[in-house]
Amino acid sequence: MMLRLMLSALLLALAGPAAAAGNIERGKQKADQVCAACHAVGGDWNKPLQPEYPRLAGQYRDYLVTTLNAYKQGEKSQIGRKNAIMAGQAAALSRQEIEDISAFLASLPGPLFTKSR
């Protein structure tokens, strides 16, 4: 009995991070529905609708997760993400959808890169 309980706990611990990492295919589907109108003109995630809108392709996954969660928190956010349109979009997303969208966008080629020495 104890061994079975320990194995179950181990499997849950291992499955948790994998699920939290995000599913790229589900993220693409959700991002196409929710984000593309403003951030991917003609399906190009490097071409936002307005020049002041951020390019999302290639953004770091953890940055996207943090930012979407901050928009979702609205006035409670401690990092200053206060935008009525983004707050409304993010409020409708589940934690897993945020992870999925972030995984998808981070998987795309974009203008962002880390400067090597």
Task: Write out pLDDT tens, residues 58-105.
Answer: 999 999 999 999 999 876 666 667 788 999 999 999 999 999 999 999
Give a yes or no: residue 53 inside a domain: yes
Task: Write out pLDDT tens, residues 10-55.
Answer: 444 444 444 458 999 999 999 999 999 999 999 999 999 999 999 9
* pTM score above 0.85: no
| Token pair belonging to 98 | 């945020």
Among 46, 38, 52, which Cα is nearest to 90's? 38
For residue 96, the domain's CATH number is 1.10.760.10
Say if residue 66 is exposed, middle or buried (CB neighbours under 10 Å; 0-12, 13-18, 19+): middle
Range of the domain at 67: 22-107
Instruction: Quote the DSSP letter at residue 55.
Output: P
pLDDT at residue 9, as a whole number: 46
93 neighbors 42 (Cβ within 8 angstroms): no
Give a yes or no: residue 103 inside a domain: yes
Give a yes or no: residue 2 inside a domain: no
